[in-house]
A and B are shown apart, each in its own frame.
Chain A
C-alpha cells in the first residue's frame, strides 16, 4: 500500500471528508487507498463489490496537488477547485447496472459476465465531472430482480450488521459496501423499493427520486417506466448534495424533466411547525412487525415534537399495488431483456437465472394478444388510480410518513424460495414507483441490533421538501444506539 494512514471511512460523511480535504488533513489518495483496503479485506466476507476499478488510485492522483504531500497550490485556487467539483475526491461505488466506460458492467448476471460498455451512463459522467472517484461496481440481484440480493449470479451480499442476514435488495452491494466503509456514497436503482429497502436494512439514507428527475441513460433498464436512479449516503445532507449533482434534464433521456435543479443541500433547514404529515391508513394493517411499528410510532412522536401535524390519509388503490407492479414491471422486463440474445454480449440467454426467467415468462404472457387487455391494460388503469390516490393525498398533506419494510432484515435463505413472500417485502415501497413520487428512507432506530428505517414521501419533483422534512427529523432523532458493524 502506498499510504500507511488508514482513514476510518465508516464514520465519515461526505461533508466531513470535504472539510478534511480542504484543510489538507487527509489526501484524496489516502482516502481512496483506505476504501480500497477495506474492499480488499472485507469484500470476501460481505461480497458487496463485483468489480474494482483498478485505475482508482491513478485517478485520485489528478487531485494530488491538493494533498498535504504537495502543498504548492495557492489556497484560492484549491478552494475554487472544490467549488467547481462538489464531490472532489469522494470515493463512490456504483450499482452494477450503471454502464461504465471501460469497466465491466454485468447487472450481476452471468449473461453480461464479460460485457465492458463503451460509454458512461449520464449519471456516471456527472459524478466524474463533479470529481468523484469510481471505486468499483456493486453486487445486486441480477437485473435488479429481487429484494434481498440473493438473486445475484455472483452470490448473495451479506448485511454488515449481521452477516447471516440480507442487506436488502436489489441494490444489495451498494448498501452493504457503504455501510462497511468501502466508499463514502454509493448508487442504486429503485424500481419497486430497491434503494429504500436496503437503506433501511443497513442504517443508511436512500433516495428514490421522482421518475424523470435523474437521467436513466446508460443504466441497464428493468422496468423503464418505473426505474428511478438514486443513491445511498450516511446522512441527509450528503444525500441532497449528490442529488444536486445527478439530477436534471438529459437530452439522451426523453423522460427527464426540464425543471431547474436546486442546490438541495444548501436549503435543508426549515421549520416543521404546521407541516401536515400524512399517515397512510392502508399501511397500518396487521402485516407489520410490531417492533418495526414501534419505531414508526417513535418517529411520529419526534415529528410531532417538531410541530408537525399528523393526518390520516387514504390511498384506496394501494392494496392492488403489488399485483399491478408484478404485471407491468415483468411486461417491461420481458421487452428490455430481449436484446440479451448472446449474439453481442458474450454469453447466451440460457444463463438467465430463475427470477429473470419467471419475469420474462410473466411479461411475455401478459403482453400476448388476447391477454393484453385483461392484464397489461387493466394494470395500467389501476396504476392511474394509484397515481390519483397520491395526488389527492398531497392536496391534504405536505408529506407522507410510512414504514419501509414490514419486517426486520431477514435471514439469507428465509424467503429465497418463496417469490410471493419476497414480493411482499416491497408492499410499502412499490406504490411510490407506480405513482412516480420521490421517497427517502432514513435511519430511524434499531431493533435487536438490526437497523430500521422510516420513509418520507412528497409529491412529484418536491425533493427539496422531502430533504427538509428528513433533515429536521434526522437532527431531532439523535444517534441510533445498539448498532454495530460485525465485520
Chain B
C-alpha cells in the first residue's frame, strides 16, 4: 500500500494543479483566461501554480500578442503527459 501511495505525484496534490493538468491533457493549448474561468481561481493563485508546474517542466508557456494585449498560452510537455498519466494510474490502482 505504501508503495502505491508513493507513486502519487506530490506535484499534483493541489486541486488547482490537478485542474490545470486535466485541461491541458485534452486541449492543444489553453490561455490564462480560459484556465481562470474553468478553475474559478484568482489570478495570483493560478499564476503561482502555473509557475510551479512550469518549473517542473510539466508544462511550457508561449507568450504572444493578441492585438496589443499580451496573451500567454500554456501547453503540456511530454514529461508532463507521462507524469500525469502515472499519477492517474496510481489513483486508479489505489481505488481498486
Partners in one complex: no
Enumerate chain A interface residues (CB-CB to B < 8 A).
none
